[in-house]
């Protein structure tokens, strides 16, 4: 038996509207299970003075010999981020072509980049850099789109497992409306998907820890309606049923895409994504749609009835969708919502980017018609529903709910996996010392609003140290 005992402050957001701060706490993590086995108040705020033996006495003798970690006053533990939507092959192009429209961006930039992953060595190099960057940024769980290629998709799953990132990985499916150099036959797409599911289920983490506790999971991934034939969608619906695995796709993302889908399928539910996926058996309680920006209320309700969820990708939506996802409105209807970077439709490789933009997007939702004519002021006294606490909740608990792993990750609680970050709000020149007396509340808010990877001292997934600043 071995593990870790952490002494210090723990900050998380179990609900949307409050930060939970537990100062002077002792947390025990089992290295065998990766789970938190004890979290209790310490009798002293002076934990630096406690010798290891005193700590073992406080924690319980069964934890003798565990590594003791004493946090500094400027440090605290938070849950790791859950990124519900990320295209691994697009890491090459992140931060570029932000002046393109969605279909030009796909055809001229994205498809050529994704096609490069036919070369497994190229993919290995790129994916290793991406997973390392995300772990350093504090992202402990990601739902990925890989590419059409089975070998490179398997490789992404393996890299996540080896580097210790919790991951949901999809081999992308596209058998139409794609360039000649990046398209599959319907049969190859279906067979490749089945091969990929079986491969990931047979991986070490899949065998050792069945079901929800597995570190890496396969996801059935029709790219979006335009690139998938009826035959392909039908077969993928059958596979979703046969294997009872997760499903992801893009839905109701941009005006151009919504119009294109309506042209392609005028006869299914008025050509709306939600109805089309439902028609083909791809709207299940394990489905997570990226974006959903242009969902109607009735469609959000349909998703709720199915048990499906959406990933809000605020940067991509503000850039491309001509609309934003009404997070509060859909939450109030019961929809499960996570947050996504949408690399590279969104240009941030850190979840702090979408968190900040989720707040900004909510501010834009509350915009008023400016009184330019001097005719009177339309409203007063707005209360902003989505603030930094709410956005952090969506990036942690929300993502866990959207992926069906809310019992495993999202908060720091006994019984949950230790997917967590040690954050230092006071590194280098960030002047935390002026705030120290105010405690973790402002340190946490400062980090969420203006921190970066320098503040993420250590990243743990399932109790394992997977990234470290030093
Ligand atoms: N729709 C189809 N493919 C994509 C993609 O790669 N990114 C985004 N944002 N939308 C898509
Ligand atoms: Fe996307």
Q: In the prediction, which pLDDT does 206 show?
A: 60
pLDDT one-digit tens code per residue, 174-201: 999 999 999 999 999 999 999 999 999 9
Looking from the CA of residue 90, the nearest atom of ligand 1 is 6
Looking from the CA of residue 250, the nearest atom of ligand 1 is 1
Pocket residue to mutate for ligand 1, from 345, 346, 347, 348, most atoms within 8 A of Cβ:
345
Supply the residue whose CA is at minimum distance from atom 8 of ligand 1. 345
Q: How far is the CA of 345 from the centre of ligand 2 (A)?
A: 6
pLDDT one-digit tens code per residue, 128-185: 999 999 999 999 999 999 999 999 999 999 999 999 999 999 999 999 999 999 999 9
| DSSP string of 290-338, one letter each residue | EE-TT--HHHHHHHHHHT-EEEE-HHHIIIIISS---HHHHHHTT-EEE
Looking from the CA of residue 224, the nearest atom of ligand 1 is 2
Token code pair at residue 47: 């934990």
pTM of the predicted protein model: 0.97
25 CB near ligand 1 (under 6 Å): no
How far apart are the C-alpha atoms of 197 and 220, rounded to whole Å? 8
345 CB near ligand 1 (under 6 Å): yes
- Which ligand is in closest contact with the Cα of 107? 1
- Do 402 and 334 form a contact (C-beta atoms < 8 A)? no
Q: CATH fold of 81-367+378-403, please?
A: TIM Barrel (3.20.20)
316 CB near ligand 1 (under 6 Å): yes
447 CB near ligand 1 (under 6 Å): no
Gyration radius of the chain's alpha carbons: 23
87 CB near ligand 1 (under 6 Å): yes
DSSP element (H, E) containing 253: none
Quickly count: other Cβ atoms within 10 Å of residue 353's Cβ.
18
273 CB near ligand 1 (under 6 Å): no
Pocket residue to mutate for ligand 1, from 92, 226, 249, 253, most atoms within 8 A of Cβ:
253
110 CB near ligand 1 (under 6 Å): yes
435 CB near ligand 1 (under 6 Å): no
CATH number of 4-79+410-468: 2.30.40.10
Going by C-alpha positions, the residue among 343, 414, 426 that lies closest to residue 139 is 343
Tell me how far CA of residue 363 lies from CA of 115, 129, 333, in angstroms.
Answer: 38, 34, 20
pLDDT one-digit tens code per residue, 409-434: 999 999 999 999 999 988 777 776 77
Chain-centroid distance, C-alpha 60: 35
DSSP element (H, E) containing 447: helix 440-450
How far apart are the C-alpha atoms of 352 and 142, rounded to whole Å? 14
Supply the residue whose CA is at minimum distance from atom 11 of ligand 1. 250
Low-confidence stretches of the chain (pLDDT < 70) are 1, 205-213, 379, 432, 435
Token code pair at residue 54: 């005193």
Token code pair at residue 343: 């690399």
Q: How far is the CA of 357 from the centre of ligand 1 (A)?
A: 19
DSSP element (H, E) containing 393: helix 388-393
- Do 14 and 25 form a contact (C-beta atoms < 8 A)? no
Token code pair at residue 301: 């309700």
**Which residue matches tokens 């393996």?**
158
Contacts of residue 178, Cβ cutoff 8 Å, sequence gap at least 6: 111, 227
Q: How far is the CA of 145 from the centre of ligand 1 (A)?
A: 10
Q: In the prediction, which pLDDT does 210 show?
A: 46
Q: How far is the CA of 107 from the centre of ligand 1 (A)?
A: 11
How far apart are the C-alpha atoms of 166 and 105, rounded to whole Å? 29
Token code pair at residue 114: 């994704």
250 CB near ligand 1 (under 6 Å): yes
- Which ligand is in closest contact with the Cα of 93? 1
What does the domain layout of the chain look like in residue ranges?
A: 4-79+410-468, 81-367+378-403
- Coil, helix or strand at residue 232: helix
How far apart are the C-alpha atoms of 107 and 369, rounded to whole Å? 37
Which DSSP category does 133 fall into?
A: H
How far apart are the C-alpha atoms of 156 and 144, rounded to whole Å? 9
- Coil, helix or strand at residue 82: strand
Supply the residue whose CA is at minimum distance from atom 9 of ligand 1. 345
């Amino acid at each position: 038996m071995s593990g870790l005992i952490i002494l210090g402050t723990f900050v998380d957001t179990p609900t949307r509207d409050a930060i939970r701060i537990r100062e002077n706490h002792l947390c025990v993590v089992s290295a065998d299970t990766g789970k938190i086995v004890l979290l209790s108040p310490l009798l002293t705020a002076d934990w630096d003075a406690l010798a290891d033996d005193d700590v073992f006495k406080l924690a319980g003798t069964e934890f003798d010999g565990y590594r003791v970690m004493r946090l500094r006053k400027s440090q605290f533990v938070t849950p790791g981020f859950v990124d519900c939507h990320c295209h691994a092959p697009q890491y090459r192009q992140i931060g570029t072509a932000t002046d393109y429209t969605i279909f030009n961006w796909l055809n001229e930039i994205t498809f050529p980049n994704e096609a490069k992953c036919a070369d497994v060595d190229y993919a290995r190099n790129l994916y290793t850099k991406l997973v390392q960057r995300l772990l350093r940024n504090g992202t402990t769980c990601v739902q990925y789109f890989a590419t059409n290629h089975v070998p490179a998709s398997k490789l992404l799953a393996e890299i996540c497992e080896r580097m210790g990132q919790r991951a949901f990985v999809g081999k992308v499916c596209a058998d139409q409306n794609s360039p000649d150099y990046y398209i599959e036959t319907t049969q190859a797409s279906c067979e490749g998907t089945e091969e990929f599911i079986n491969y990931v289920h047979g991986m070490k983490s899949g065998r050792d820890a069945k079901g929800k506790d597995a570190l890496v999971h396969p996801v059935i991934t029709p790219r979006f309606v335009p690139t998938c034939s009826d035959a392909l969608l039908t077969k993928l619906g059958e596979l979703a049923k046969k294997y009872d695995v997760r499903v992801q796709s893009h839905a109701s993302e941009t005006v151009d895409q919504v119009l294109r889908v309506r042209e392609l399928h005028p006869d299914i539910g008025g050509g709306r994504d939600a109805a089309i996926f439902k028609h083909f058996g791809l709207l299940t309680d394990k489905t997570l749609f990226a974006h959903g920006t242009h969902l109607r209320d009735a469609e959000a309700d349909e998703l709720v009835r199915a048990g499906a969820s959406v990933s809000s990708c605020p940067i991509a939506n503000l850039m491309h969708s001509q609309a934003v996802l009404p997070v509060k409105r859909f939450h109030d209807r019961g929809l499960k919502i996570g947050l996504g970077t949408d690399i590279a439709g969104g240009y941030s490789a850190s979840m702090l980017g979408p968190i900040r933009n989720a707040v900004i997007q909510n501010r834009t939702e509350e915009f008023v018609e400016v009184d330019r004519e001097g005719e009177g002021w339309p409203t007063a006294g707005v209360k902003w529903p989505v603030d930094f606490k709410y956005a952090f909740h969506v990036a942690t608990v929300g993502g866990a709910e959207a992926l069906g792993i809310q019992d495993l990750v999202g908060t720091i609680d006994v019984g949950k996996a230790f997917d967590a970050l040690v954050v230092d709000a006071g590194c280098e020149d960030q002047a935390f010392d002026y705030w120290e007396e105010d405690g973790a509340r402002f340190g946490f808010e400062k980090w969420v609003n203006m921190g970066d990877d320098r503040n993420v001292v250590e990243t743990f997934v399932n109790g394992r140290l997977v990234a470290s600043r030093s």
